[in-house]
Amino acid sequence: DSGVTQTPKHLITATGQRVTLRCSPRSGDLSVYWYQQSLDQGLQFLIQYYNGEERAKGNILERFSAQQFPDLHSELNLSSLELGDSALYFCASSSDGQGSQPQHFGDGTRLSIL
Amino acid sequence: GNSVTQMEGPVTLSEEAFLTINCTYTATGYPSLFWYVQYPGEGLQLLLKATKADDKGSNKGFEATYRKETTSFHLEKGSVQVSDSAVYFCALSEGGNTGKLIFGQGTTLQVKP
């Protein structure tokens, strides 16, 4: 058990819809990362938050947004969903924001767009 | 930009065979290097890491050495077990103001009894 909790585990929805993925980091970790894992793109970094502030942005579409709340949990919002957004979305947390400490991954949310 | 390239899988071995999974990277500066493992239906787990040239990371019988001259971080294990069957990801962290990871495409390892 990594200590990182992601909900829901599975999400099935239709094109054009909007969903919210939730992540609770390990106790004490200030940094949260979101990654997307798909068959064609592999594992890609989306966005990082550190103590409530956006720290780095990767290949995140404009239809996607995220935030980290004062209690340090994070949400990833995906809107105007397309078939190509079907993927496994991972959240990871670490105690620092610079990569000197390892990242601990949740079990992921599997998003299926019908 | 920075990138990581892993050997393509799947890699199929018999139990107690020697394992090598190749990983090379392209990066500016001095990245930290990692191997993560993903078991079916689970998230990624850190297997080992190295933060500077010539460092050797090791864990659970797995080893990898940070080779700056060949920009490589190959994963090795002397004797694999069926329980090692999983997907292995090589990754780098650029450091600086972010710990974001750049991953290779992953290598599936199947170990047969």
B82 three-state secondary structure: helix
Note the pLDDT of residue B94.
81
Cα–Cα nearest to B55, from B47, B63, B46, B66:
B66
| Token output for A99 | 């990569």
Please name the residues in contact with B29: beta carbons below 8 A apart, sequence gap of 6 or more. Answer: B94, B95, B96
- Residue A17 Cα, gap to closest chain B Cα (Å): 26
**Inter-chain contact B100–A45, Cβ cutoff 8 Å?**
yes
From A90, which residue of chain B is nearest by alpha-carbon distance? B43
Edge-first strand listing for the sheet containing A64-68? A5-7, A19-24, A74-78, A64-68
Q: What is the pLDDT along chain A (114 residues), one digit of tens a residue?
A: 889 999 999 999 999 999 999 999 999 999 999 999 998 888 999 999 999 999 999 989 999 999 999 999 999 999 999 999 999 999 999 998 888 788 999 999 999 999
User: Is it the case that residue B15 has pLDDT exceeding 90?
Assistant: yes
Section B4-14 average pLDDT: 93
Q: What are phi and psi of A84, to 5 degrees?
A: -70, -10
DSSP letters spanning A73-112? -EEEEE-S--GGG-EEEEEEEESSSSSSS--EE---EEEE
Reported as a single tens digit per residue, the pLDDT across B27-56 is 988 899 999 999 988 889 999 999 999 999
Residues of B in contact with A98 (CB under 8 A): 95-99
- What is the three-class DSSP state of B84? helix
pLDDT value for A13: 97
CB-based contact, A45 to chain B, within 8 Å: yes
Non-local CB neighbours of A62 within 8 Å, separated by 6+ positions: none
**pLDDT per position as a tens digit, B48-94:** 999 999 999 999 999 999 999 999 999 999 999 999 999 999 999 98
According to the model, what pLDDT value does residue A57 have? Answer: 94
